Amino acid sequence: MDSENQNEFFVIKALEDGVNVIGLTRGTDTRFHHSEKLDRNEVMIAQFTEHTSAVKIRGKALIQTKHGEVATD
C-alpha cells in the first residue's frame, strides 16, 4: 500500500438497524475477515489497510469517501 493512501479514511453512517460492514482481505485470497454491525445513526470511520482492500456494506447506509458520497439504496 503506498503511503499516500495510508491516512485516508472513509465514513459509514447506518440509516437503519443492523447494517453490516464487511472487510475483505487484501491479496490473492479474497475473503471476509471482519463483520461489524451498526445500528441506526451509528458511525464507523475506517481505513483501507495492509489487511483490508475492500469493504462490502449491507443495509441502508451513507458512505463518504474523498471521492464523494454514496448511499446503498
Q: Where on the chain is the footprint of ligand TRP (CB under 6 A)?
A: 21, 23, 34, 36, 46-47, 49, 51-52, 55
Contacts of 21 (CB under 8 A, 6+ apart): 12, 35, 36, 37, 38, 44, 46, 55, 56, 57
CB of 11 to ligand TRP, least distance (A): 12
In whole angstroms, give the CA distance from residue 41 to residue 62.
Answer: 10
Shortest separation between residue 43's beta carbon and ligand TRP, angstroms: 13
Query: What's the min distance (Å) between Cβ of 45 and ligand TRP?
Result: 10
